[in-house]
Structure 1
Amino acid sequence: MCCCTETISKIIVIGTNIIFLIIGIALIIPGILMLTDIDLLSENIKPLLEQISFNGVNLGNISGNLPIVFIFFGVAILFIATLGLIGACCKIKTLLVIYAIIVIILTVAEVVILVFFFVLRSHLDSTIKNEFASQLTSKYTQDLLDKSDTVSSSFNYMFMEAECCGVNAVTSTTNDFDNSPWRSGAGSGKKIPKGCCKGVTEATYTTYSNPACTDTATSGTYWPSGCYDVIMSTFGTILNSMGYICLVAVLIQICIIVFTFLLCCSYMTSVV
């Protein structure tokens, strides 16, 4: 009976830690991709993200630190899983006990994070959307890439780099820019800024002219997606994925804790 318990526990501990290794890699890869290949992390757009906060934390800090958090937790999980695999395969009871304690601490931390995540996630969308709209209607003043006006230039860079326009999708000449200082000032007579137009680049921005896009917002000449949807398709998907990965990890860790202690009991006579 003891031998059977040991065998089953060992198989489960090794199997779950292999899954744990996969989860670690699943966190590291998007972290690396976010550091190297996400337009919304562009230095040209960060000044705008830093103006938008959620529960006292600005989006610029989140966007800058999220990839590092992914990589850190991914590496930590790889280390912990390796610790468990060595302890189980080599029958090292002391290592298994240390491993189980670390997993317990990690599980408690993840449960707290999950509760916090699911409580706040439902409020995240509307809060960020309202913040973006507020920045556009109160601080968007010019259709230039002049970085002395950080909010306006950040919006224009975001329109170009993220291939979007406004906060909400632009579907007609009536849009988010109507109530902005730009429309009542330098953009009088315009419908959307040049950054929204297809084909404009940083190099051609100053001389770019396409009245069909900027003056009449003709369909097909500009990016129809709202920047809020583009942002949330990036950050929202990532946050949701992280939440579900964390939930799966907690369930796996509970299983690991139970069978690790069963395995330790079966190794009572092992040399450590």
Structure 2
Amino acid sequence: MGMRDFGAAGRFGQCFLIVVNIWFAILGIGMIVLGVVVRSNRGVADNRIIQMLRQGTLGGLNLGDIIVALSAIIIVVGVFTLLVSADGGFGACFRKKGLLVVYVIVLVLILIIELAAFILWCKFYFGTNNWLKEQFNNLLRFYNGVQGATDVYSNGWNTMFILLDCCGSSPISTFRNDFVALQTYWWSNPTRLQDQIPYSCCKEATIQNYRFGRNPLCTQAGQQQLYRPRGCYNAFRELFSNFSAGAIALSVLLIVTEILAIIAAILMIRAINKEKRGSLDTTNSNVYRKGVHEIPLPDSKPR
């Protein structure tokens, strides 16, 4: 069976699948790298921050689990994309119908997962600004301080202040101090003394020293050059936006490419079926076509 018998649609599907599965392999590697980067970034993946973010909910899901789940989905989809690209590439190169059928089925399942993850990601990225800001404000109300504070909220916020280089939910200024405006537990905590902001908001504070350090020029006098100027909502939103832009671009490109690959694979499967049906000469029942050569059967007369 030669390429001449395979048909234009089959040849197109074969060439397209070989090229597109090389591209799939590259995209799959890209998604794996992106998911690993999101999970390993200290500003997002620190367990103390995740535990604190889990106290906020969205439609039955909490913010911490959404972040972990989305990064995990990206990695899983990337791995499956890499494996499926190998299946589709071999199926296209060697015209293996079985591999191509598996390829189409798995690709459809991956496409469904990707669409679900894409919708969830877009809903979280584009449609939850007000919700996310409200969650940050609500979570900060439970903040209880630095020295001796071991609760989930305080540990999470102190870690976020340092790792994301921020302070409060909104930027701290002479006109607004979230620790006062949101009536946080810390503001009524006697261990606060005269501090206007916690020490973890000071630029000199680190994960190692924030529980024991003090700097009245920063925490009481509020000298601007000494404390962290950004609000944590803006810092988190900026960090998440950087990852989201890459994830959304990759997802859209991958979804469109997968739809085209499914169409090409179906065209190739149809061409393989047609090629097999055409191997028996319908004009002469005594002749069996093998490739491009006609082989006379015993009861036929030689030409």
TM-score range, shorter chain: 0.7 to 0.9
CA–CA separation in structure 2 for the residues paired with 1:47 and 1:217: 29
Instruction: Tell whether the 8 Å contact from 2:38 to 2:243 is kept in structure 1 after alignment.
Output: no
- 2:215 maps to which of 191, 200, 210: 210
Residue 151 of structure 1 is matched in structure 2 by 153
Per-residue CA shift, 1:1-34, capped at 9, x if unaligned? 8544333222211122222112211110022223
- 2:65 maps to which of 61, 67, 80: 61
CA–CA separation in structure 2 for the residues paired with 1:114 and 1:123: 13
CA–CA separation in structure 1 for the residues paired with 2:154 and 2:65: 19
- 1:165 maps to which of 167, 174, 178: 167
- 1:99 maps to which of 99, 103, 122: 103
CA–CA separation in structure 2 for the residues paired with 1:199 and 1:119: 37
Shift, 1:226, TM fit = 1.3
CA–CA separation in structure 2 for the residues paired with 1:223 and 1:193: 11
SS at match of 1:171: coil
Residue 28 of structure 1 is matched in structure 2 by 32
SS at match of 1:46: helix
CA–CA separation in structure 2 for the residues paired with 1:115 and 1:218: 44
Which amino acid counterpart does residue 64 of structure 2 have in structure 1? G
Instruction: Tell whether the 8 Å contact from 1:173 to 1:216 is kept in structure 2 after alignment.
Output: no
Residue 220 of structure 1 is matched in structure 2 by 225
Residue 298 of structure 2 is matched in structure 1 by none
Question: Is residue 2:16 matched to residue 1:6?
Answer: no
- Report the RMSD for the aligned CA atoms in angstroms: 2.4
CA–CA separation in structure 1 for the residues paired with 2:118 and 2:152: 35
> Alpha carbons of 1:48 and 1:70: their partners in 2 closer, same or farther (altered >3 Å)?
same
Unaligned runs of 5+ in 1: none
Q: Moved runs in structure 1, 4+ residues, more than 6 A? A: none
CA–CA separation in structure 2 for the residues paired with 1:113 and 1:209: 45
> Alpha carbons of 1:132 and 1:173: their partners in 2 closer, same or farther (altered >3 Å)?
same
CA–CA separation in structure 1 for the residues paired with 2:70 and 2:115: 19
Quick check: 104-113 or 157-166, which moved more? 104-113
SS at match of 1:163: coil
TM-score, normalization by structure 1: 0.88
Q: Which structure has the greater CA radius of gyration?
A: 2
Number of residue pairs the alignment of both structures matches: 269
SS at match of 1:45: helix
CA–CA separation in structure 2 for the residues paired with 1:173 and 1:197: 19
Identity %: 26
> Alpha carbons of 1:237 and 1:212: their partners in 2 closer, same or farther (altered >3 Å)?
same
> Alpha carbons of 1:250 and 1:79: their partners in 2 closer, same or farther (altered >3 Å)?
same
Quick check: 113-122 or 123-132, which moved more? 113-122
Question: Is residue 2:180 matched to residue 1:180?
Answer: no
TM-score, normalization by structure 2: 0.79
CA–CA separation in structure 2 for the residues paired with 1:171 and 1:14: 58
> Alpha carbons of 1:128 and 1:12: their partners in 2 closer, same or farther (altered >3 Å)?
same
> Alpha carbons of 1:114 and 1:204: their partners in 2 closer, same or farther (altered >3 Å)?
closer
Residue 251 of structure 1 is matched in structure 2 by 256
